[in-house]
A and B are shown apart, each in its own frame.
Chain A
Amino acid sequence: MNASAPVIRMQHVSKWYNPHFQVLKDCSLDVTRGEVVVVCGPSGSGKSTLIKTVNALEPFQQGTISVDGIDLHGKGVNLPRLRARVGMVFQHFELFPHLSVLDNLDIAQRKVLGREREEARARSVALLKRVDLSAHAEKFPGQLSGGQQQRVAIARALAMDPVVMLFDEPTSALDPEMVSEVLDVMVQLAREGMTMMVVTHEMGFARKVAHRVVFMDQGEIVVDAPKEEFFGAVTNERARVFLSKILAH
């Protein structure tokens, strides 16, 4: 767990949904502390599956993944404890609709981290302020817009003081006018040095804050390049075709 070791180290990870369908093919990827890695690729290429293996929401059959030095397949590894240190933001927010916004932020702090009510509440209030939603603290998720819900979801993940944040297409379920309010929060997070792995097609976000861009196709990591290289002179044909398509609109 030394400071320079990657927060996420993924080595030769392969996953099959069934013997005839390999969804991840020998994927290797490091994310070092403070790094922002954007993952893109065509629909069905395995981006969601890849990012969900990192916090063991998706099992995999071959290879190794370690998070903050802890091997997911290691003996006696406590998965809930490990997941508590990995924040995750979903495409469809997945806020808990029966709990108020504040309770959404409180619940895992209390039940998982064992924080006292006041301590958890103070953290939640501070985080809501940070995502500019203090006025909505007592509301229920169903009373908020998509953009507001996703900002709550980010705050909920941050409340656990994660060592890394995973985002799976956090803006793709949003109306266009709400995309930027969510991206703004993410950009700010990146600038503060949060380690992030982000599946997104928002290339503006990638240009602004990504350190590296990973391109996936058919379960393979085809390109893994520094941002400048990726946007400057990506040599891979499939990546170029993909880029020209998503930059076209």
Chain B
Amino acid sequence: MFSDFDFDAILRALPYLFRDGMSFTITLTLLSALGGLLLGTLIALARIGGGKLLAMVAAGYVNFMRALPLVLVIFWFYFLVPYLGQWLTGAPRPIKVGGFSSALLTFVMFEAAYFSEIMRGGIQSVARGQSSAALALGMTGGQSMRYIILPQVLRTMLPVLLTQTIVLFQDTSLVYVLSLTDFLGAASKIAQRDGRLVEMYCFAALVYFLICFLASQAVRRLQTRVAIIR
């Protein structure tokens, strides 16, 4: 099967694979990671410092999200969000939501559950004595979080957060179920069109491997650089 391996097929596809596919994948990954971190931090704060009810809702959300397969959530949002939007805005018919927006929303909501657990662990490990010290200096709870707790948590947890982002980078390939053209989607479109399945899927695997491997190495090197001296 490798006897007629056509490198040219790959070369010809490169512009499409990267300009359309990879740029989509990377954009989705970065925006999802940022959004997920933001929402995840808010969820973590709700679980730690919010009232009983808020904490319960947040915990329920996290447990619910983590109990569902990602593909299911992707489908779910894709079919549900238009109706949700209709309900929220009071529009006469289901609102139009593009595949990208739907995927982004899905990943933000889904990743937030995971990021919130990372942040919650971090906050709890830092907070005890440190927040007492900050409060004793006259800071409000919010100031203590912002200037003392969260900066430490972000630095300590950065490697874990980045590793989670690498997993997210791989997971974004699941948007193929919405027929979106991410990197893998682009590769499989070419594979189907040109009948070059072996070439395209081998190449896609190689690219995913290289990017993730290099990113992990970079995270490892970063780890010692951002660590707080204790």
A86 to B138, CA, bound (A): 8
Q: How far is the CB of B107 from chain A (nearest CB, A)?
A: 30
- A98 contacts B133, C-beta separation under 8 Å: no
A141 to B148, CA, bound (A): 14
- A94 contacts B132, C-beta separation under 8 Å: yes
Cβ contacts A100-123/B at 8 Å (1 or 0 each): 000000011001110000000000
Residues of B in contact, count (CB < 8 Å): 20
B140 contacts across to A, CB distance below 8 A: 80
- B137 contacts A156, C-beta separation under 8 Å: yes
- B129 contacts A112, C-beta separation under 8 Å: no
Q: Which of B130, B132, B137 contacts A112 (CB 8 A)?
A: B137
Q: Which of B132, B138, B147, B229 contacts A90 (CB 8 A)?
A: B132
**A88 contacts partner chain B, Cβ-Cβ < 8 Å:** yes
Q: Which of B136, B138, B152, B229 contacts A81 (CB 8 A)?
A: B138
Q: Which of A84, A92, A142, A143 contacts B137 (CB 8 A)?
A: A84
A140 to B132, CA, bound (A): 20
Residues of A in contact, count (CB < 8 Å): 30
**B143 contacts partner chain A, Cβ-Cβ < 8 Å:** yes
- B138 contacts A83, C-beta separation under 8 Å: yes
- B132 contacts A57, C-beta separation under 8 Å: yes
The B26-53 residues at the A interface (CB cut-off 8 A) are none
Cβ contacts A50-72/B at 8 Å (1 or 0 each): 00000101000000000000000
**B155 contacts partner chain A, Cβ-Cβ < 8 Å:** yes
- B135 contacts A57, C-beta separation under 8 Å: yes
A interface residues with partner B (beta carbon < 8 Å): 55, 57, 80-88, 90, 92, 94-98, 107-108, 111-113, 140-143, 156-157, 160
B interface residues with partner A (beta carbon < 8 Å): 129-130, 132-140, 143, 147-148, 151-152, 155, 228-230
